[in-house]
Structure 1
Amino acid sequence: MANRPLEGRLALVTGASRGIGAATALALGQAGAHVVLTARTAGGLEEVEDRIHAAGGTATIAPLDLAENDSIARLATAIAGRWKALDLLVLNAAMLGTLTPVPAIDGKEFAKLFTLNVTAQQAMLAAFDPMLRASDDARVVGLTSSVGQRPRAYWGAYGASKAALESLLLSYADEMKAISKVRVAIVDPGATATAMRARAYPGEDAATLQQPEDVAAAILRLVSEPFVTGFRLRVAGSARDQAEAV
């Protein structure tokens, strides 16, 4: 059990085809959880599933677009038809959008960004709330960004979506305190070498950044032990993050 603290647990990870989502899914699978992987790219999910199986874990893939009508409801129905409880929900899927001044934000893109980064996240909480409550010790982990709390020029759209997500998660955490064993945590990965980061900072040296596996290890440590619901974790693994944390 020491090496597999999540033995017998069911985990669901969104945005699991690459980056932090893929690394987290692999870490949870290695720790004993059966991991349900969701993302739009079936090929990427299959690769992560193969890696989990090769590491001695188990996984199920569910390719879908969280922003599509009824996709989340269909996912919840399928999972509830196979398992009684959900022990771990990792809300990782998100889109960056265009970094631009606030007056120049494109309305259609802004709506699309909020649909995935906020509306779909609330729909996930609503759809899986019964299965989370059915667990004897459930965890919800939402991935955020520093711009959700510390606004920055040109990051208004993405930052607003993360601020809204944090508010939703903390409200849910407060609601769960007295009525269930569902614990909620917010994780800010910090500067991590992902495709999204590369789009935001083209030309940045990825060697100066922490890797998705570093964030996944921090998430695994977090969910493997009790924590106070509403807990916020800043993963400061890179030299840049450590300097900012001082």
Structure 2
Amino acid sequence: MFEYQAPADLLKDKVILVTGAGSGIGRTAAITFAAHGATVVLLGRTLEKLENVYDEIEAAGYPQPALVPLNLESAQEHDYIELTNTLDQEFGRIDGILHNASILGVRTPIESYDPVIWQQVMQVNLNAPFMLTQTLMPLLQQSDDASVVFTSSSVGRQSKAYWGAYAASKFATEGLMQTLADETSGICNIRANCINPGATRTQMRSDAYPAENPQSVTAPEDIMPAYLYLMGKDSATVNGQSLDAQ
């Protein structure tokens, strides 16, 4: 998978929603999916960042993307319903979701973890992917081959001291993915998997390891083979798995 060579038209005519599409891995994934033929729905909280990604995709001559400014921390059920109705009217289906948006919270002992920050992390990292997936299920069911990709972490498999809400949210994400995968297995064309990006050159990584040289970790572009693999037809039989991008 690390050496996966995606066909140029791997995602041709597919509609794929990417959360956290304004920067980091989400930005790179959105551009990469578009480069392989997908119409990408760019979801994020900062309109300016989304517009920059939109312009980059258009300038490259890739399929015209769509913009969805949405703050996952404050979004309510009616926001997800409105989003689903809009996507239904525009596209009639969704072929893929990359749940990429996450926040780190703070790295501190459990005994001193701020409950407000804990709730914020859970809202963005766990509750939002649940709500978004649930409301988009009717559109995923309209796809011949729908792939839902959740973002995990090494500390979502084996935690470490001081990773608090972030680690807990990623453990829960793994469970959410496994539940969805088992529920859809054999009864519809939806598959669900997790991807662990590993140490990647992003702002979150810099926040978590401020003393680290960013150039010493992998660039987002270099982990895209795994993302393409999970979104494309070559992983059609892969369901309920947690894969490493590095």
Shorter chain as denominator, the TM-score bin is over 0.9
1:229 counterpart = 2:229: no
2:230 and 2:186 map into 1 onto residues whose CA distance is: 21
Which stretches in structure 1 are left out of the alignment for 5+ residues? 237-246
Residue 12 of structure 2 contacts residue 36 of structure 2 at CA under 8 Å; is this kept in 1?
A: yes
State the Cα distance separating 1:71 from its structure 2 match. Answer: 2.3
Matches within 5 A, 1:156-175: 156-175=164-183
Residue 16 of structure 2 aligns to a residue whose secondary structure is strand
1:51 counterpart = 2:56: yes
29-38 or 111-120: bigger deviation: 111-120
Partner of 1:10: 15
1:60 counterpart = 2:51: no
1:203 and 1:6 map into 2 onto residues whose CA distance is: 38
Identity of aligned residues (%): 37
State the Cα distance separating 1:73 from its structure 2 match. Answer: 2.0
Partner of 2:80: 72
1:218 and 1:49 map into 2 onto residues whose CA distance is: 23
Partner of 2:3: none
State the Cα distance separating 1:113 from its structure 2 match. Answer: 1.1
Residue 186 of structure 2 aligns to a residue whose secondary structure is coil
Residue 193 of structure 2 aligns to a residue whose secondary structure is strand
State the Cα distance separating 1:95 from its structure 2 match. Answer: 0.7
Q: Which has the higher contact order (CA 8 A, sep 6+)?
A: 2
Partner of 2:118: 110
2:30 and 2:7 map into 1 onto residues whose CA distance is: 18
Counterpart residue type for residue 65 of structure 2 = A
Matches within 5 A, 1:17-56: 17-56=22-61
Counterpart residue type for residue 71 of structure 2 = D
Which stretches in structure 2 are left out of the alignment for 5+ residues? 1-5
76-85 or 143-152: bigger deviation: 76-85
Partner of 1:177: 185
State the Cα distance separating 1:149 from its structure 2 match. Answer: 0.8
Residue 147 of structure 2 contacts residue 230 of structure 2 at CA under 8 Å; is this kept in 1?
A: no
Counterpart residue type for residue 39 of structure 1 = G
2:83 and 2:224 map into 1 onto residues whose CA distance is: 24
Distance 1:47 1:99, change over 3 A: same
1:131-167 CA-partner distances (Å, limit 9, x unpaired): 1111011101111111011110100211001111110
Residue 141 of structure 2 aligns to a residue whose secondary structure is helix
Residue 24 of structure 1 contacts residue 217 of structure 1 at CA under 8 Å; is this kept in 2?
A: no
Aligned residues: 236
1:196 and 1:62 map into 2 onto residues whose CA distance is: 22
Partner of 2:160: 152
1:72 and 1:65 map into 2 onto residues whose CA distance is: 11
Counterpart residue type for residue 234 of structure 1 = D
State the Cα distance separating 1:98 from its structure 2 match. Answer: 0.6
2:96 and 2:163 map into 1 onto residues whose CA distance is: 30
1:77-96 CA-partner distances (Å, limit 9, x unpaired): 11112111100110011110
Instruction: Say what the alpha-carbon RMSD is for the aligned residues.
Output: 1.3
